[in-house]
Structure 1
Amino acid sequence: MVSMKVKDIFIISFFTMHLMQDLMFVFICHLPLLYLLFSVLFPVPSMFLRCSFYFFNFPFCCRYFFIAFTLSVISMFSVNNM
């Protein structure tokens, strides 16, 4: 009974990490496109600075993507070994 609860927790964390991974991937892929779109449509200096701040923090976003990917791989192997 206890092992079933642990297995359920691993399955839930597995799907949660995959969802986080997909969302972060979409966010990272569309970041340069949003940067160009806002800089063309809204040439306000504050908006341009805000978009350039997100654009230059690109490696910081990739770090979170790598963490989500690593946790999803760990949870996948944990579910397969049970």
Structure 2
Amino acid sequence: MKPVRALLPVLAAALLSTTMLAAGPVAAQTSQRYSTWQPPQQDQTKAVLDELSRMISQAERDRAASPDFIADLKGLVQRHSAATVPAEP
């Protein structure tokens, strides 16, 4: 019995290292390696579009510009707002 008992720490270490090696690739596959890329100026673009939208609304309420011009500005904001929304994975 003594020879087997002397080998127990060695067997335990071998079993533990084998288990950790086998679990390594599985753990790596379940974590996300990369995050969604965001253009560096996306926050600034959104802020400008939000401010422009507020100004368009105010101009529309005050009738400060031609309805056609306001419609063009709304279309511009809408097109660029769609471009700043990140794609869903």
TM range (shorter): 0.3 to 0.5
Superposition TM-score, scaled by structure 2 size: 0.44
Superposition TM-score, scaled by structure 1 size: 0.47
Structure with larger Rg: 2
Identify the structure with the greater helix proportion: 1
Q: Which is bigger in relative contact order (C-alpha 8 A, separation at least 6)? A: 1
